[in-house]
Structures are given as structure tokens and as C-alpha cells.
Amino acid sequence: MMEEMRKAAKAVYEKSSYEEKEELNRLFKIMDRDGDGKISFAELARFMESADAHTRALFNLADQNGDGFLQFDELFMLSYLCSSGRPLCDACGVFIVGLFFTCTHCRLTNLPECRSYDLCIPCYRETKFEHEHTEFDDNYTLLFKMQHLLLSASQASTSSGVGKKGQTEALETLSSMASIVSFMGDLASVFLS
């Protein structure tokens, strides 16, 4: 699974603009306080103002060669992990790299905030959590449901005779939903490739 994420991160980097690559270079130099060409956990923790278990877990995931430091390509992997929106398990706190379960109610009713309740497979399987809702879907099923909602909303707005203003508002809502669906699609593509 991590190898697929590394490939995805590399592809994103290769498709990045010159300015984005320069910004990452600048960030690397800022984090590398001692100028040795690599970032220690202490340097990362100081930059992020956090030395908690989550920061350590992200550092360890990005440290591809296991030498205890992040080289430039590993910093991009860390950046990719942080920007990809992959969740932490709300029950045990582990960073979820692969398939996960999410509370369907929380995910679908909080779209603008995109705050959900996510679980790794072991916590879901062993019911190692307490949550107010009971319906959970894996990320693939949720993607399907969100795409279905998007399609249904689109069809309803065009067939209901809604005026131009109403259609514009519906399209804006669909656009915000589409960004969530796109994120879930990106997430699914990592697992399907």
C-alpha cells in the first residue's frame, strides 16, 4: 500500500508547476535548520510545533529508507500524506493508509465542513469505538453513494423546471459536492491502481 502512495506522490510532484516545486525546496531549506541536507524528527517537530504520536507516525511513513531522516523526496511524500486528506482513526488514532470505514451520517450531512468519524478496519471489525451513529460504509461504498447523490441532484434540478437562478444555485451546490466526490475518487484511485 505504501509503495502505491509513493508512486502517487511522485506522480503529483512530477506534474507540479515550477513554482510549487520551488516552494517545496524553500520549505525543505527552512526545516533543515542545521543545513545537513536532511530533516530529523526534531527539526520536523520544531517546524510543526508538535512532537506527538501523529507527527511521529507521519514522519515514519514518509521515511522510506528508514534512516531516521527525511530527504527531499521523502519530504514530498510527507507533504502528499498531509494534503491527501487521509484520515486518522477516530478510535485508536492510527494514520489510515488504506481502506477505512466512515460514519455515513457524519460524512454526508457535514459536507461543507467535511468532518467525519473514520475508523481503521480493526477498530471497525472489533467494534472498538463509541459513536452516536450506527451506519458505517467503507470509502468505496461511500464514494458510490456520493456519486449517486450527485447524479440524482443534477437530474432533479434539470427535470424540475427550476429557473436559471435555481439551476445556478443547484450547480454551485453540486460543484461543492463534486469536490468531495473528486477527493474520494482520488483516494479510491490510489487503492485501485
Structure confidence by residue, pLDDT tens digits, 128-142: 899 999 999 998 898
Q: How far is CA 79 from the centre of its chain?
A: 11
Do residues 160 and 91 lie in contact, with contact meaning Cβ atoms separated by under 8 Å? Answer: no
In Å, what is the CA distance from 131 to each residue of 75, 113, 120?
A: 35, 18, 14
Calpha distance 129→18 (Å, rounded): 44
pLDDT at 85 over 80: no
Residue 153, all three cell numbers: 441532484
Please state, rounded to an integer, the average pLDDT across all residues of the chain: 79
Residue 20, all three cell numbers: 510549487
Farthest CA pair distance, the chain: 65
Calpha distance 133→104 (Å, rounded): 9
Domain 2-83: CATH class, spelled out: mainly alpha
- Note the pLDDT of residue 110: 64
Do residues 168 and 132 lie in contact, with contact meaning Cβ atoms separated by under 8 Å? Answer: no
Domain boundary assignment for the chain: 2-83, 101-192
Which segment, 1-5, 8-12, 84-88, 178-182, is predicted with the most confidence on average? 8-12
- As to burial, measured by CB atoms within 10 angstroms (0-12 exposed, 13-18 middle, 19+ buried), residue 52 is exposed
Q: Find all residues with CB under 8 Å of 170, minimum gap 6, and list them.
A: 153, 154, 156, 157, 162
Mean per-residue pLDDT, 66-79 = 91
Calpha distance 192→137 (Å, rounded): 17
Q: How far is CA 105 from the centre of its chain?
A: 19
- Note the pLDDT of residue 55: 82
